[in-house]
Chain A
């Protein structure tokens, strides 16, 4: 259960993370905008409520494992981790620059507390399956550690994704929770034009997963989805989170052109003005 107060706190945090995303993309001059903004609420809930983790002790053995499969949305990953205390927020300005720990796609060699390096699509879920299987070998089905895999809808075009989905169903990995960012866009256009995924929930169900569909921007229903996923015993669970790509910046929302593009100065100003005033709900501190 989330209290109203906690929800307000999370909303504020998600907004701060969106501001960081725009600032870092502006500074980097390249990178992905739509996915990171769309996933800001889910990352916020995970890192500030759901996940068992400790930024002061990142290698804590009992931590939950979070695998980011679609590495290109790493601006939201980095921004959330910085706000959670893994590294200084000001380091976000080094994104994609020479010598940075914040590689264009996440790399464990530079940031050892990441669970995996990623970018090439379709492989993250299988790595998460491997982690869940290994944990079951050591601790049995009642293991208290959970493995979360964040993935995109576009990467479900990859055969490797379905190989992982099939294996998790076979081994009934209750300790595995996949979250699909169902934002309906990929680089070349809308998913249903490029390679239709629907009926998506039925497909996962057919592979013996428990399926939950929810809105990806409502903390209350997202939290209920995670609680349900944790309670399911017989199967792995996928949360198909319906998100708005570019969420939080009106100009960017639902437009696939923002999938792989960073904002220029004017666009960033527009975005930051909107985020800093929470869409006009509060007076900007800069006015």
Chain B
């Protein structure tokens, strides 16, 4: 069942569940953060509407900087604005920022300790028809290895809005990973959100779970559907939302691993270096249990519809169910 404490969207499993792009949640959150704090500024590299920064840009034109197609400049100018007390959010596609400007982010933001939020939209395979050049599948890895850099990957538009507002208040540099396509709304305005905390979204009606699924980003709906169907087969599941990839919620990971002794991680990212890798680092050191990884297997993407690509690369509902059965067999 859905965790009743979290007040999740009761229509999650309906066919007509509302669908909103996660990036839109960011756009609305940024506008609200801008209303609350006049030091919030926004910079964009010629993708203002695409990254949904236009809400902010239209409302606060004097606090918006159009950088042009220049991602290295995007983040270095943001670093300078932060030095003067501003709270800059800079957006582009994840493939270009942090894909193209990683060293500038490292030196002028993380090493320099300048509070800037790097917003990478259009992450993952679900970017779809644009093809492999535009599908960022390595950005979580790039950003989570960087000291002094938080990494957040919300599961839906409402969580993206809350994450954006929380990041505007946080003192640290951060990477916010967003998805282009519409995805089902999982949470509600009442669902709690805290940076660095992971919550259980799905749990057995009674008793302990046999497998824990840890999910980050836009595949949450797939994981919840998989959990529900597996329940019908008599397999008890807990699904945990890993919006905060760094700092990672060590206690929540250990608690779920101790209960289930079998973990499946799910993300729209290379298996190497992603959220699954972060979970594996925690468990290998503290409480080793079998883990299976849902993610991209050391390959690039291609054109197609999001659904076709999710199916082809084996990261959707059916693959998650398969991995759950596989990890169950490995349980000691």
Q: How many residues of chain B are within 8 Å of chain A by beta carbon?
A: 28
Contact bitstring A107-144, B, C-beta under 8 A = 1, else 0: 11100000111111011001111111111011000000
Establish whether residues B107 and A120, one from each chain, have CB atoms under 8 Å apart when the complex forms.
Answer: yes
Q: Does B32 contact A (CB under 8 A)?
A: no
Establish whether residues A166 and B80, one from each chain, have CB atoms under 8 Å apart when the complex forms.
Answer: no
Q: Does A159 contact B (CB under 8 A)?
A: yes
Establish whether residues B77 and A116, one from each chain, have CB atoms under 8 Å apart when the complex forms.
Answer: no
Smallest Cβ-Cβ distance to A112: which chain B residue? B113
User: Contacting A127 at CB < 8 Å: which of B63, B103, B108, B111?
Assistant: B108
Alpha-carbon separation in the docked complex, A133 to B72 (Å): 17
Q: Which of B90-124 contact A (CB under 8 A)?
A: 103-104, 107-108, 111-113
B199 CB to closest chain A CB (Å) equals: 34
Establish whether residues A164 and B83, one from each chain, have CB atoms under 8 Å apart when the complex forms.
Answer: no
Q: Does B62 contact A (CB under 8 A)?
A: yes
Alpha-carbon separation in the docked complex, A120 to B82 (Å): 19
Q: Does B206 contact A (CB under 8 A)?
A: no
A117 CB to closest chain B CB (Å) equals: 5
Taking A117-B111, A118-B107, A167-B67 as contacts, is the C-beta distance between A126 and B76 under 8 angstroms? yes
Smallest Cβ-Cβ distance to B148: which chain A residue? A109
Residues on B with C-beta less than 8 A from A160 are 72-73, 76, 104
B150 CB to closest chain A CB (Å) equals: 18
A64 CB to closest chain B CB (Å) equals: 12
Residues on A with C-beta less than 8 A from B65 are 133
Question: Which bracket fits the contact residues of A?
Answer: 20 to 34
Taking A137-B41, A160-B72, A167-B73 as contacts, is the C-beta distance between A116 and B67 under 8 angstroms? no
Taking A137-B86, A164-B73 as contacts, is the C-beta distance between A131 and B80 under 8 angstroms? yes
Contact bitstring A152-186, B, C-beta under 8 A = 1, else 0: 00000001100110110000000000000000000
Alpha-carbon separation in the docked complex, A108 to B112 (Å): 6
Establish whether residues B63 and A130, one from each chain, have CB atoms under 8 Å apart when the complex forms.
Answer: no
**Residue of A108, A109, A116, A130 with highest tally of chain B CB at under 10 A:** A130
Residues on B with C-beta less than 8 A from A126 are 72-73, 76-77, 79-80, 108
Establish whether residues A65 and B72, one from each chain, have CB atoms under 8 Å apart when the complex forms.
Answer: no
Q: Does B81 contact A (CB under 8 A)?
A: yes
Residues on A with C-beta less than 8 A from B88 are 130
**Residue of B62, B83, B104 with highest tally of chain A CB at under 10 A:** B83
B159 CB to closest chain A CB (Å) equals: 30
Residues on B with C-beta less than 8 A from A128 are 80
Taking A108-B113, A117-B107, A120-B103 as contacts, is the C-beta distance between A137 and B63 under 8 angstroms? yes
Alpha-carbon separation in the docked complex, A129 to B131 (Å): 35
B: residues with CB less than 8 A from A are 41, 62-63, 65, 67-68, 70, 72-73, 76-86, 88, 103-104, 107-108, 111-113
Given contact pairs A116-B80, A118-B107, A120-B104, enumerate 9 new A-B contacts (beta carbons under 8 Å): A115-B83, A126-B108, A134-B84, A134-B86, A160-B73, A163-B70, A166-B70, A166-B73, A167-B77
Q: What 9 A-B pairs come out closest when comparing CB atoms?
A: A130-B80, A126-B76, A163-B73, A134-B84, A127-B80, A130-B77, A163-B70, A160-B72, A130-B81
